[in-house]
A and B are shown apart, each in its own frame.
Chain A
């Protein structure tokens, strides 16, 4: 009897432990932990393009979660998406002329609906409607400017060597491409510290086909993509003389601090930074220069 009792107790403890673990997984580590309990009201919004917005995506005001996306359907007969937002009752005072905007949290994060308050004195009620909406920010287009891919130069017919000094090469590696107008024209032959000038001496092997590069061209270190490798970009100058083997490029621009740039986007959920990100990003982007 005692034998039977001991395994019954053991089994009971095992089952309780299993369910406790399940409850822990379900409530503490999943999106339920973010869910607000309590009643909510529903508001509609129509978007021309919802991008990657998913059901149960958060709805935020000033970056604070106030509800979630209830459902996403296609408006019958039109090419607009009908998004139903379920907003907590305790956030009942949202002006009727507020703007519903689809944001991306971070550069690669999920999308969510942000609500920017309007100035109206009346508040949206259950079954209400946001007339003013703004669809997905075309962040991909912005990113596309950074993501200048391109293959390596073929180096048929030999190369010639030019040198350039940089104050900071970032993570530039030997063999990284040298690009002009986004097209690979050579590769980095060596990266060394200059013992006299105390900066980085980079040797570039450029394909002999491209022997018309002005000798006052500027040379910069860019990053391909946000998290990609770094490469050297040559921006042609106006001098009538071309670069020759062994020449030194004087105008150099060191590796961009892309982290700073990205930092502006990565304010997770802040509506102001989200709406301004487009203009900031494109004007500061290195891609705009070449």
Chain B
């Protein structure tokens, strides 16, 4: 049952980690039908990782949009193209910043707490107790959190993007004086709903949500059952998620563009 790997050099160890993570994903997916019996647990996790993350996502989205509007205004002013700031803000947020920043925040806000929670369950033998009671811990602990992350990320990303557009509009139009009509008409004419909103925002953030919650759940589930182990696992969640998000972002962009 223990998927932790303790032997071999660093290369085989990290390969084994990746392999174990892949196998863990299969176990999570296989446990989906069983976990539907605990659908309330999934809802509770969705509340915890999604609804409770809204504040940080909204505040960060607002400020990312505002700083984009501010920066782009001054660069575009060199070329006399400040009217394009609406479309550039929207495209930058939809294609890159929205999914990536949301995923990084999500890894920091929700991923770490998932890892720490499951890690402490492991350390205090709660998972072993579940197995004793013939409750599949994957179906009751891992899968609801994975599903919650998968569902919450695109929704959070949409909220982030909407707040980003609002922030860009606030700075560009209300503060720096870009024309309101030009701002919106340039944005609507350059943003394509399939290319940017569906491909950029939805698919990317769903993929990031899956990766972040998989890594978080996996790290928590396979943590050494000590307080030090939980601390390491939490750190590894953030590090591995960030690397996975940014590298996956490149791959996804290359495929989806």
Binding site for B on A (CB under 8 A): 4, 7-8, 10-11, 13-15, 17-19, 21-22, 24-26, 28-34, 56, 58, 110, 227, 259
Contact A29 B159 (CB under 8 A): no
Contact B94 A25 (CB under 8 A): yes
Which of B43, B190, B193 is in CB contact (< 8 Å) with A32? B193
Judge whether B171 is part of the interface by a CB distance below 8 angstroms: no
Which of B46, B50, B187 is in CB contact (< 8 Å) with A29? B187
Q: What 1/0 mask marks residues of chain B from 49 to 87 whose CB sits below 8 Å from any chain A CB?
A: 011101000000000000000000000001110000000
Binding site for A on B (CB under 8 A): 40, 43-44, 46-48, 50-52, 54, 78-80, 90, 94, 151-152, 154-156, 158-159, 161-162, 165, 184, 187-193, 196-198, 201-202
B198 to chain A, nearest CB (A): 8
Identity of the chain B residue whose Cβ is nearest the Cβ of A227 in the assembled complex = B79
Residues in A neighbouring B94, C-beta threshold 8 A: 25
Contact B154 A18 (CB under 8 A): yes
Q: A14-B54, A17-B54, A18-B154 are in contact. Are A25 and B47 (CB under 8 A)?
A: no
12 A–B contacts, CB within 8 A, in A order: A14-B51, A14-B155, A21-B158, A25-B94, A25-B201, A26-B197, A28-B188, A29-B191, A30-B188, A30-B193, A58-B189, A227-B80
Residues in B neighbouring A56, C-beta threshold 8 A: 192
Contact A30 B156 (CB under 8 A): no
Contact B46 A25 (CB under 8 A): no
Contact A26 B162 (CB under 8 A): no
Contact A33 B188 (CB under 8 A): yes
A266 to B50, CA, bound (A): 46
Q: A29-B90, A30-B196, A259-B80 are in contact. Are A21 and B161 (CB under 8 A)?
A: yes
Q: A14-B54, A18-B155 are in contact. Are A34 and B188 (CB under 8 A)?
A: yes
Q: A21-B159, A30-B196 are in contact. Are A14 and B188 (CB under 8 A)?
A: no
A167 to chain B, nearest CB (A): 22
Residues in B neighbouring A26, C-beta threshold 8 A: 193, 197-198
Residues in A neighbouring B184, C-beta threshold 8 A: 29
Q: A11-B46, A11-B51 are in contact. Are A17 and B191 (CB under 8 A)?
A: no
Which of A18, A25, A31 is in CB contact (< 8 Å) with B189? A31
A228 to chain B, nearest CB (A): 10
Residues in A neighbouring B50, C-beta threshold 8 A: 11, 14-15, 18
